[in-house]
Chains A and B, each alone.
Chain A
Amino acid sequence: MQQLPPRRIPTRRTFVAGSLLVTVLPLASAQAAPDTMMAAVKEVTGEAAVRPGRVTLDIPPLVENGNAVPVTVSVESPMTEADHVTAVHVFNEKNPQPHVFNAWLGPRNGKAIVATRIKLADTQKVIAIAETSRGEFWSASADVIVTIAACTEDVN
């Protein structure tokens, strides 16, 4: 386990949450910083330009538990042989790793819509990137506030 980050000044929330923080810290101790996320994005896009637009990232702005956050990525595309989305990549900023999932699609999908549920260790930004058969990259991002559950069972 890596070293813990500097303790933040306790807010009312962290005070109320009390020792529940214990369950949050281990996850926060190794986290994908914004730079790490951008590096992971680069692995997919290379030096190509990533333009905002055409992608809708549907994720609740406030979640009651970060263990299962529903995410739907929809991309505007005719999904024809000539012009379709070939892949959808999702990244996050503050989990231990920046990768969430990569999905590969094609004209046989008809619609470029992928949904799943993800884990978010903390309040953070999530980014979705769509890659098209024409070599373009489109993106959307969203900020998610993650609240913590009350009365967990791992209070040590």
Chain B
Amino acid sequence: MANVLINAPGTARKGETIELKALIQHPMETGFRPGADGRLLPRNIITQFTATWNDIEIFRMKMSPAVAANPYVSFFAVASESGTVRLRWTGDRDFSAEGSVTVTVT
């Protein structure tokens, strides 16, 4: 599976708004770039990114070829209860990757 880096505070106060940051290894080949042989390299991108908190979706993003290689995403979430934040990326060529972090709410 692709390398994934997720950054989230391990603990948060109940009701606190926390930042979640994620980075994933992916070429995000646009489909508009010629390769060494002059032909266009076929498109190969991540198209969808979703985040769930204890299995409830809290954030979703649709990516186009204009998202940079090795996509970085940052968003916020209210720490409502302790649990698992699960991030999932899907895309062209059946690409699928997942990562998760645990946040303890006090």
Contact = CB atoms under 8 A, between A and B. Distances in A.
Answer whether A and B touch in the complex at a CB cut-off of 8 Å. yes
B69 A115 contact: no
Contact of B75 (A26, A27, A99, A109): A109
A117 interface: yes
A117 B68 contact: yes
Interface string B57-89: 011111111111101111111101000000000
A15 interface: no
B75 to A, nearest CB: 5
B53 A101 contact: no
B62 A101 contact: yes
Q: How large is the interface on A (under 10, 10 to 19, 20 to 34, 35 or more residues)?
A: 20 to 34
30 contacts: A26-B32, A26-B34, A68-B69, A92-B66, A95-B66, A96-B32, A97-B66, A100-B64, A101-B63, A101-B64, A102-B61, A103-B62, A103-B75, A104-B60, A104-B61, A108-B78, A108-B80, A109-B76, A109-B78, A110-B17, A110-B78, A113-B74, A113-B75, A114-B74, A115-B75, A116-B61, A116-B73, A117-B67, A119-B65, A119-B68
Given A100-B66, A119-B65, 15 more contacts: A69-B68, A92-B66, A100-B64, A101-B66, A102-B61, A108-B77, A110-B76, A110-B78, A113-B74, A114-B74, A115-B72, A116-B61, A116-B73, A118-B66, A119-B67
